[in-house]
Amino acid sequence: MCIRDRAVITVPAYFDAPQIEATRRAGELADIEVVGMLQEPTAAAMYYTWKHGIGDGTFLVYDLGGGTFDVSVIRCMLGEYQVLGIDGDNYLGGDDFDRKLAEFFRKHLVERGYDLDLDIANDPDDAVKFMLLTRLAQEVKEALSDGDVQFVGRTNLFEDRSGNPVSLNLEVSREEFEGLIGDLVEETVQSCERALAKSMEAAGVGLGDVDHVLLVGGSTRVPLVQKRVLDVFVGEGKSKAERVLIDEPDTCVALGAAVHAANVAGLGLIDDTTFEEPSVVTVTSALATKSSTARVVGRLDSPRGEEVESVVLLDGAGGIAGIARPELDGGELVFALDELELKGDGDHPFSLEFCDREGEPLAAFELTLARLSRAEILRSTGSALSNPSVLAKDIYLEVVRDGRPERALLLGSGESLPAQGSYRFYTADHAGAVILRLFQNRFPIKTVHLSVPEETELGTSVELKLSVDEAMSMVASGEILGQTFWAQIEPPPAREIKDWQQIEELLNRVDVVARELWGNEARYFRDRTNPLVAGIRETARTDPDKLQVLVGRLEEVVEDYHQRDTELTPGFGRYVALMDAIKRVAYRDDGQLRLGMNLDEWRGRIGQLEVAADEAFESKDQRAWGRAFNQVQALWESLAQDEYRFTRADSEGYVRRLYLSLCAEVSEVSEMLAGFNYSANPETHALQEREVARLEAELAERVSTPLDAVELEGAAHAQLKHELDLLAEAVEHIRRRYEKLPTIGLVRH
C-alpha cells in the first residue's frame, strides 16, 4: 500500500485563516506532504454518501466535537460537493458540557462545607482540582447517555484548600444534566439557522431543501443534542429528512478524508522487491465500474523510471489485458490503459508491470478492478472538480476613506476554494510607505509594508492580488510603481491574555458606553453586550480559555461604539451606518415629503449634519461629537417613525411589511430566549428558568400561533392591520421582560 508521507488534513469549518495555516504548518513540520485541507463537515458528508450510496442531495451536517462546533449546508451533485453555508463556534464543544457538570459538582461540595472557592486561572493547584472534577464529569456525562440517573460515589478525590480530603456522593439525573447544558445546545441550533440563512442567501437553498441531516462528532451522542436536532430540523414542514443519520460519529470525518484522499491523490502501491529505493505507482482512476470495460490511469515514481518503455496489464491467467507506452509529463511518468475487458461481475485481479526495452519488468504491482452488478451501488467519492471547502470568514483590507480607516471586503465568506481576487487601490498620502493590513472579520492576520518615495503622487495605483488555495493557505501579491511584492500569510501571534483587572476595565467601558447611548442604539448595544457579559461572569472561574474568547468578542462590540484611537463614543462606524440609513430613505425619489422636507431640503439638512459631525470627529471633541451623533440618531428615529406612519396609510403594503417584520422578530426573540445565559447561582437560575418558560409559552400562545394562522391573500387589510398591531405590541412586551431577566430578583436603590 501507499508508503508516502502524504495526507489530507481536516479542520473545523469555522477555523480562522491563522488556525488553518497553523494546522497545515504542523503537518509540514511532521514531514507530511499536505495534499489537501478539507473542512470536517464536508469530509463527513463524503463518508456518508460513500457508505450509504447516497446520490445527489443536500446535507445539513451538524458537527459537535470536544472543543469545536461546526455546521455546514452541503450540496452534492454528480459527485461534486459544494458548500453553500457554514457557521459555528471554535470554542464550543463537549468539553463545555463537562465543565458545566464539574461546576455543578463543585457547588454541591461547597454546600457540603468543603473549601473549594477555586481560582483556576491563577492557582495551578486549583486548576488540577477542577480538572479532576471535569474528568469525573465526563464519565458521568457518558453514563447519562445510556441511563436516566447516575450515582456518583468517589472518596478522596483530592484535598480542598484547607487540606481536607474531598468525597463526592450524589445522584445526577439526565434531566439535571440537560438543564445545565441546554443553553449551549441552543447556541448550536442558532448556528444551524444562521448557516441555513447563508445558504438561502447564496443559493436559494433553505431547510425545506435539505435531504439529509447528519450528526458528526462524539458529543452528538448526548441525547439532548439528538432530540433538539430532530425537533428543530426533521419532520413535516421542516427538512425532507425522515430521521437524523449518526454513523461512527467519532471517526466519520477521518474516513471521509480517506475517501477524498483516495480521489485527489490516488491509490498508492509499492514494489520494494526490486531496488533499494522502492518504486511507487499512483492509480488515479476509479477501481470499480458497472461497465464491461475499465480504464486504468496513473503515474510511476521509480529510480529507473527513465528505462521504462511499456506498461503491461496482465490478467489472472498471465495473459495481456492491456498495453500502453508511458509519457513524461512535468517530470512524472504517466500512463493510461483503455478498454480493459471485465468479464462478469465481481473482482478481477491483475498485475501491472513496467517493462524495459527487452520486455523485462522493472517494477510490478498487484491491482484489483471490480465490476459491479446493476443492482449494486456505485459509491461516490467526489471528483477532482469538486469545491469541497469554502472560506469560513470574510477577508478585508484596511483602507482610508474620507481620512478615516475602514475595511474593504476582498473575499467573502462562503467563497469556494481555491479562490483569487484582484483589486486596485490608490495611495492616500506622502508617508513614504504603503501599508496593506489584512483582516479576517476583525482579526488582523497580515500586514505588508512597502517603502515608496515620499514624492509618490497621491492616487498612485496599488495592484493587489489575494489567493487562497485548496489547502487554505493565503498569499498576497501585487505591484506599485513597478515594485512587486509577495507575502505568505503566516499565523499571527496569539492574542494577549487578559487578566481580571483588564477584564474589569473592559466591563467598566461597557457601562460607560451604555450610559452614552439612548433609544434604539442603546437597545442594540445591550442586545449585543448583555449575553457576552453574562458569559464572562459564568466562565470567570470555570473556563479560562472560553473566558478569553468571550472577552475578545466583547472588545470587538465595544470598539464599534467606542473607538480607542479617538476615545469617542459612539464609534464613527455607528455614525456612518445611521447616516447611510437616513440617505436611503430621504433620497428615495418617489415625490413624497418626509418630515415635511423635499429632496433639496434634505440634501441641505444632511450636509449640515455631516459638516458638524466631521468637525467634531476631527477635533476629537466628545461633547460636540455626542451632540452631532444625537442629532443624527434623532433624525433617523424620527424619519423611521414617519416612514412607519406613511406605510400604515397603505393598508395592503403595511400589512405585508408588518407581517414579515413580525415573523423575523418572533424568530429573533425565540432565539434570544433559547440562548439566554443563566446565572451560576442555582436559586437565581431557577427564577430565570421559570420566567423564560413563561415567556416562551406566552410567545407561542399570544404571538406565534395567531401569526401562523394569518392568511394574507384575500384578507380584509384594515382588520388584519389591527390584529397585527396587537401582535407587535405583545412581542415588544415580551422583549422588555426578556431584557429584565439578568436583573431578576435584584433590589432597587
Rounded to whole angstroms, the Cα distance separating 286 from 268 reads: 13
Tell whether the model's pLDDT for residue 749 goes beyond 70. no
Which cell goes with 79?
459527485
Does residue 544 sit in the same domain as residue 582?
A: no
Q: Which pLDDT belongs to residue 90? A: 79
| Minimum mean pLDDT range among 143-152, 590-599, 693-702 | 590-599
Does residue 354 sit in the same domain as residue 210?
A: no
pLDDT one-digit tens code per residue, 456-488: 888 888 888 888 876 567 788 888 888 887 877
CATH code, 412? 2.60.34.10
Element (H, E) at 361: strand 361-371
Does residue 225 sit in the same domain as residue 169?
A: yes
Q: How confident is the model at residue 385 (pLDDT cuts 50, 70, 90)?
A: very low
Q: Which residue has the higher pLDDT, 80 or 275?
A: 80
Contacts of 664 (CB under 8 A, 6+ apart): none
Q: What is the mean pLDDT of residues 528-533?
A: 83
Q: What is the mean pLDDT of residues 435-460?
A: 77
- pTM of the predicted model over 0.85: no
pLDDT one-digit tens code per residue, 317-350: 888 888 988 888 766 788 988 888 888 888 888 9
Does residue 318 sit in the same domain as residue 457?
A: no
| Minimum mean pLDDT range among 70-74, 147-151, 228-232, 372-376 | 372-376
Tell whether the model's pLDDT for residue 617 goes beyond 50. yes
The burial of 432, by beta-carbon neighbours within 10 Å (0-12 exposed, 13-18 middle, 19 or more buried), is given as exposed
Q: Which pLDDT belongs to residue 651? A: 59
Q: Which pLDDT belongs to residue 213? A: 93
Q: Which pLDDT belongs to residue 60? A: 94
Q: How confident is the model at residue 429 (pLDDT cuts 50, 70, 90)?
A: confident
Q: What is the mean pLDDT of residues 98-121?
A: 89
Q: Which pLDDT belongs to residue 379? A: 54
Which of 244, 264, 284 is the endpoint of a domain? 264
Does 682 fall in a domain?
yes
Does residue 95 sit in the same domain as residue 229?
A: yes
Q: Which pLDDT belongs to residue 378? A: 52
- 204 φ/ψ sector (left φ>0, alpha ψ -120 to 50, else beta): left
Tell whether the model's pLDDT for residue 107 goes beyond 50. yes
Most confident of 399-413, 434-448, 650-664, 690-704: 690-704
Rounded to whole angstroms, the Cα distance separating 18 from 463 reads: 24
Does 364 fall in a domain?
yes
Does 324 fall in a domain?
yes
Q: Which pLDDT belongs to residue 220? A: 93
Rounded to whole angstroms, the Cα distance separating 692 from 175 reads: 17
Does residue 48 sit in the same domain as residue 193?
A: yes
Does 390 fall in a domain?
no
Which cell goes with 624?
460636540
| Minimum mean pLDDT range among 174-188, 240-254, 387-401, 542-556 | 387-401
Most confident of 179-188, 288-297, 401-410, 680-689: 179-188
3-class SS string, 431-483: CCEEEEEEEECCEEEEEEEEECCCCCCCCCEEEEEEEECCCCCEEEEEEECCE
| Minimum mean pLDDT range among 174-188, 277-291, 372-386, 573-587 | 372-386
Q: Are strands 244-245 and 212-216 parallel, antiparallel or unpaired?
A: parallel
* Nearest of 526, 525, 423 to residue 476 by alpha carbon: 423
Tell whether the model's pLDDT for residue 491 goes beyond 60. no
Which cell goes with 547?
473566558
Q: How confident is the model at residue 585 (pLDDT cuts 50, 70, 90)?
A: confident
Which of 647, 678, 705 is the endpoint of a domain? 647
The answer to whether residues 595 and 638 touch, using CB atoms and an 8 Å cutoff, is yes
| Minimum mean pLDDT range among 113-127, 199-213, 536-550 | 536-550
Q: Which pLDDT belongs to residue 3? A: 46
* Nearest of 306, 289, 298 to residue 262 by alpha carbon: 298
Range of the domain at 331: 266-371
Q: Which pLDDT belongs to residue 667? A: 79
Q: Is the dihedral of CA 727, 732, 736, 741 positive or negative?
A: positive
Rounded to whole angstroms, the Cα distance separating 366 from 281 reads: 11
Q: Give me the percent of the chain exceeding a pLDDT of 70.
A: 87
Which of 440, 469, 488 is the endpoint of a domain? 488
Does 383 fall in a domain?
no
pLDDT one-digit tens code per residue, 711-727: 776 666 667 777 888 88
- ω into residue 418 within 30 of 0, thus cis? yes
Q: What's the chain's length in residues? A: 749
Compute how many other C-beta atoms are within 10 angstroms of the C-beta atom of residue 431: 12
Does residue 700 sit in the same domain as residue 606?
A: no
Does 97 fall in a domain?
yes
Does residue 326 sit in the same domain as residue 341?
A: yes
pLDDT one-digit tens code per residue, 213-252: 999 998 999 999 999 999 999 988 889 988 898 888 888 8
Q: What is the mean pLDDT of residues 571-580?
A: 79
Provide the 8-state DSSP code for 569: S
Does 25 fall in a domain?
no
pLDDT one-digit tens code per residue, 26-70: 888 888 878 777 888 888 888 888 877 777 789 999 999 888 898
Provide the 8-state DSSP code for 595: T
Does residue 617 sit in the same domain as residue 732?
A: no
Q: What is the mean pLDDT of residues 624-650?
A: 76
Contacts of 724 (CB under 8 A, 6+ apart): 655, 658, 659, 662, 710
Q: What is the mean pLDDT of residues 719-743?
A: 81
Tell whether the model's pLDDT for residue 613 goes beyond 90. no
Does residue 275 sit in the same domain as residue 248?
A: no
Does residue 657 sit in the same domain as residue 632?
A: no
Most confident of 330-339, 547-556, 567-576, 690-699: 690-699
Q: What is the mean pLDDT of residues 120-141?
A: 89
Does residue 245 sit in the same domain as residue 350?
A: no
Element (H, E) at 737: helix 717-739
Provide the 8-state DSSP code for 497: P
Give the mean pLDDT of the chain: 81
pLDDT one-digit tens code per residue, 1-16: 344 577 888 888 777 6
Rounded to whole angstroms, the Cα distance separating 40 from 151 reads: 36
Does 21 fall in a domain?
no
Domain count, the chain: 6
